[in-house]
Each structure stands twice: as C-alpha cells, then as structure tokens.
Amino acid sequence: MKRTNKIIFIFIILMIVLFDFIFIFSKKENYSYLENRYLKKFTISNIDDYLSDHFPSRNKLLSIKTKVDLLSGKTYINDTYIAKDNYLIPKFINNPKSHYIYETINDFSKDKNVYVMFVPDSILVNEDKMYYHLDIEEDNELDNLYKNLKYSTNIDLRDVLIEKNKEEQMYYRTDHHWTTFGAYYAYVEFMKTKNEEYLNKEDFNIEKVSSEFMGTTSSKVLGVNVLDDIYTFNTNNDLEVNYVDKNIITNTLYNEKYLSEKDKYAYFLDNNHSEIIIHNKNLTNNKKILVVKNSYANSFIPFLTNHYEYIYVIDMRYFNNNVSNYIENNNIEETLILYNMYNLYMDMSIVKME
C-alpha cells in the first residue's frame, strides 16, 4: 500500500509537470473557433481563467468532460438536449418581453401586405426524439404571438414540419438551423397561403454540397462526433446578388469558401448582411418582396428567387433605416417577416422595425 501511494504520487506529479511544460512552451491561441470567442489574455487578476483558456489539450479535455457526462446518463449538457438518433437540440429560452414583438409587427403591418413566418425550433418539431417530454413553452409562445398578430397573414409551420419530419430531416442534427428541406416545405406553405403555384421537389436539381457539417450545437457538447449533410435546391436562373452593405455583386446565392470553414451554414447567402438585393434576370414580372429576417431565411430565400424578379433582404440586427420608407422608395408590394423562435426571442432586434 505504501508503495502504491508512492506510485500514485509519481504518476500524478509527472502528469502535472508534463502539463506545465506543454503549457509554458506552447504557442497560445487568441481565438477559439469552437466557442466563437476570444480567449482570455494574461493579467494577474484572471490567472485562473487564462490558465483554463490556454490549458494544453483544452478541447480534448472538454470532450472528455462531455463523454463522462454522457456515460453518467446525462442527456442535457450545456443547455443542449442529447436526443435519439444523434440529434443535439438546443433548449428554448423564453423572453418575458415578447409582447413587444407583436406590438411592433401590428404597428408596422396596419397598412401593408405582410406575411409572418415564425419558424418553430428543433425542440418543438423533434419533440418525439427527446428522452424527456419537458413542458415545451415554445408551443404556447407561438400560439400567443399568432393570436396577437392582427393585421398580417400568419403562416404556421408547426403541422407541416412535424409531419414531414417523420420522413425527411427538417433540422440539422448538430446545428440550430433548419435544413434546406425544412426551408423547402416552408416555401411550399408560403406559396399555398398566397394561392400561387410552387415548384415540386422534382423541379430542382438537389445537390449535396457538404457531408461534414458540425454546427453550432455540436460546439456545446464537444466529443459527440456527428456530421450533417448540407443540400442546395438548384434551378437555372441568371441572378444578380447585390450585397449592398459590402458593395459586392455576384451571380450566386452561395459562398463556397464557408464550406471549408467551421460554420458551414454561412454558405447560404454569404452569412449575414444588413441589406441584400437579389435580381432574377430571367423574370420580367416586376414582382418585388421584402424579407425581414434572421439567418433562418438564408436557406429559404433561394426558393423565392424563382418567383420574384426582385427580392430585398434586410436583417434588423444591422439595418438601421426606416423599413416603411424603404418599402415605399423601392415600390415593394409584399413583406415577409421570417424568424426562428429562439433567435427572435434572444435578439429582439425586430422591435427596431418601423
């Protein structure tokens, strides 16, 4: 026993010295791509934070922690549910100020033709895959929002997404976004609501652009190695995509460069921009629509290009002009407000809209 204690001491001390050596001589990173944040710089008052941010094999250790949690039977780690079929599902967080949302939209849509699409999150649509059926607030919140939206045409996607989710994948396993399939059925629902023709799946050339997507949710539970596929639904249109805020004009809705980076969802519409104008040169119907949106719309907007000659896209987090004036100046007849529930509640920038 005495010898055992000595060996234990030697093992642990060697481990400590090894970590110390690697720590002292290793190059310190500034930024963590996994966590999307800058790591702490050294000051005397945050030595501990600095040490753990720059600890040798930090990401390995973080995934060890997750594995131990999973082994101990946990299905809820860092606000993320580990669900059946390798789904990682972010928790929904309520916001007591949500009434500002429908108040803003009611004010805005009194004299306009406005469609509202609040997209349910993975947690609502994938409820059947969760190990526990916790009281899901999001359902009530959606009911409440739609009940209070008085002047807009409100499109409820819950039934269709839950139905289609039985056959196809409506949400990524590793990311908080919907898949292009989810966006497609939302597009169909949108066109049905407007009583207009829509394209069938067969009308598209469906292409898998990546099979190595590890989205934002997977960063929360490091060590769960699941990969997602990203698809695009392509049609042959001659497009002019104008990223107004960056003064860049291209002919594609996608940016290849992001497929080799961590956040591959940014492939759609080049991540987030305050203002984008998309012109389909194959159309001459002079139909115009404004999409007020967050990133959920990035994989949805490509479907609209088949029907609108001009699509104006604004993101209220970065867009600081008056939206009503914008509509008037550009002679836009329709507005679509498209947000997913979680981020609608988290960022609340929509209340800037007037």
Partner 1 sequence: MNFSSLIFIFFFLPVFLLIYRFIPKKCRYLVLLVFSILFYLYSGLYNFIILISIGLINYLVILLISKFKKLNFLYYVLILLNVSTLLVFKYNHSLIFPLGISFYIFNSLSYIIDVKRNKIKAEKNILYYFTYIMMFTHVTMGPITRYSSFKNDLANLNPTKDDFYDGFRRFLNGLIKKVLISDNLGILFNTLLTLENPTSILNIFILLVFALELYIDFSSYCDMAIGLGKMIGINYKENFDYPYLSKSISEFWRRWHITLGNFFKEYVYIPLGGNRVGIFRNIINLLIVWFLTGMWHGNTVNFLLWGMYYGIIIVLEKHVFKNILDKLPGFVRHIYVVLIVLFGYIFFIGVDIIPFIKTIFSKNIIDTTTIFYMKENILLIIIGIILCFKMPDKLHDKINNNAIINVILPVVYLILFIITISFIVSGSFHPFLYNNF
CA angle 271–295–62, rounded 5-degree value = 80
3-class secondary-structure state, position 212:
strand
Residue 98, phi then psi, degrees to nearest 5: -65, -20
Which residue, 121 or 189, has its beta carbon nearer to partner 1?
121
Position 277 contacts partner 1 (CB under 8 A): no
Rounded Cα gap, residues 349 and 82, in angstroms: 30
Which residue, 17 or 249, has its beta carbon nearer to partner 1?
17
Task: Report the site for partner 1 in 76-95 (rule: CB under 8 A).
Answer: 76, 78
Calculate the CA 73 to chain-centre distance: 28
3-class secondary-structure state, position 223:
coil
Position 139 contacts partner 1 (CB under 8 A): no
Do the beta carbons of residue 63 and residue 223 sit within 8 Å?
A: yes
Which residue, 20 or 328, has its beta carbon nearer to partner 1?
20
Which residue, 135 or 159, has its beta carbon nearer to partner 1?
135
Rounded Cα gap, residues 280 and 347, in angstroms: 31
Q: One symbol per residue from 22 to 41: x for binding partner 1 (CB under 8 A), - otherwise; what is it? A: -x----------xxxx--x-
Rounded Cα gap, residues 184 and 171, in angstroms: 12
Choice from 8, 206, 248, 249 touching partner 1 (CB under 8 A) = 8
Where does this chain touch partner 1 (CB under 8 A) — which range of 56-64, 178-186, 227-235, 320-328? 56-64
Which residue, 45 or 247, has its beta carbon nearer to partner 1?
45
Where does this chain touch partner 1 (CB under 8 A) — which range of 106-114, 179-187, 190-198, 341-349? 341-349
Rounded Cα gap, residues 158 and 125, in angstroms: 7
Do the beta carbons of residue 268 and residue 298 sit within 8 Å?
A: yes
Which residue, 47 or 206, has its beta carbon nearer to partner 1?
47
Least distance (Å) from partner 1 to the CB of residue 319? 15
Please choose, from the candidates 335, 241, 235, the residue with its C-alpha nearest in 3D space to the C-alpha of residue 279.
Answer: 241
Where does this chain touch partner 1 (CB under 8 A) — which range of 55-63, 195-203, 247-255, 327-335? 55-63
Task: Report the site for partner 1 in 206-245 (rule: CB under 8 A).
Answer: 216-217, 219-220
Please choose, from the candidates 78, 98, 73, the residue with its C-alpha nearest in 3D space to the C-alpha of residue 90.
Answer: 78
Which residue, 269 or 332, has its beta carbon nearer to partner 1?
269
3-class secondary-structure state, position 181:
helix
Helix residue spans in the chain (DSSP H): 2-25, 47-53, 58-71, 99-109, 122-125, 137-148, 158-164, 180-193, 216-220, 301-304, 323-329, 341-347
Choice from 27, 133, 166, 208 touching partner 1 (CB under 8 A) = 133
- β-bridge mates for residue 275, sequence order: 314
Choice from 107, 209, 263, 335 touching partner 1 (CB under 8 A) = 263
Q: One symbol per residue from 96 to 115: x for binding partner 1 (CB under 8 A), - otherwise; what is it? A: --------------------
Least distance (Å) from partner 1 to the CB of residue 40? 8
Copy the structure tokens of residue 340.
């997913």
Which residue, 46 or 252, has its beta carbon nearer to partner 1?
46
CA angle 172–92–86, rounded 5-degree value = 35
Task: Report the site for partner 1 in 149-208 (rule: CB under 8 A).
Answer: 176-177
Binding residues (CB under 8 A) for partner 1: these are 1-9, 11-13, 15-17, 19-20, 23, 34-37, 40, 47-49, 51-53, 55, 58, 61-62, 64-65, 68, 72-76, 78, 132-135, 176-177, 216-217, 219-220, 263, 265-266, 271-272, 294-296, 340, 343, 346-347
